[in-house]
Amino acid sequence: MIDYVAVFITFFAVIDPIGTIPVFIAVTEQFDAKTRRRVALIATITSAFILLFFLVVGEIVLNALSIPLPAFQISGGIVLFLFALNMIFGDSKPDEEIRMLQNSHRETAIFPLAVPSIASPGAMLAAVLLTKNSVFTIWEQAQTAMVMIGVLLLAYILMLLAGLINKVVGSSGASVISRVMGLILSAVATTNILAGLAEFYAVH
């Protein structure tokens, strides 16, 4: 049985549904309500396929390249940590990704909404690290996938409610929440690095 709370927090931090709201509002402001709903759906489905791909075959690809999982866990933890630092100290997620505006609603749904806003590099790494074949059973990996899909559904719902939420929280409020998620993510990244080091030295 997986730790549902820990897995949920990890995916919530790296997918950052709240931080996606200002991005969604900015890139869909020229569309009507029906098109905005379509953009949210396409972005969510695209993100799900991308993350499920990494969840299912990520470790297989690593094995094919002869990259030991502890090495990927350590490097992944470092990348997650740098990603978290950027969330905390650098441009906030909305400010950074609003610069990537596209005109077509399908292009907008895929870039920058699906990638890199929802299916972020951190989310791809988390999908691999949380489904290690040597640690988790198929059923536990399926549970992780369900939690991940749940977070994506939450992101989809928040995008549908983006207009209302923006009035309540505002762009500055979403930026603050995104930075708090960055702090949580930095702790998760440090845990991954320490676990990878421990596993590496245990094997060697």
pTM of the model: 0.76
Q: In the structure, what pLDDT confidence band is assigned to residue 55 with cuts at 50, 70 and 90? A: very high
Residues 157, 66: contact at Cβ < 8 Å? no
Give the tokens for residue 161. Answer: 């409610």
Measured between alpha carbons, how far is 15 from 115 in angstroms, rounded to an integer?
A: 10
Measured between alpha carbons, how far is 182 from 186 in angstroms, rounded to an integer?
A: 6
pLDDT in tens, 73-131: 788 788 778 877 877 886 556 555 655 554 578 888 998 889 878 998 778 888 998 99
Nearest in space to 118 (alpha carbons), one of 183, 181, 46: 46
Give the tokens for residue 173. Answer: 């409020």
Check residues 121 and 132 and name the one with the higher pLDDT.
132
Q: What is the pLDDT of residue 92?
A: 55
Give the tokens for residue 200. Answer: 């590496």
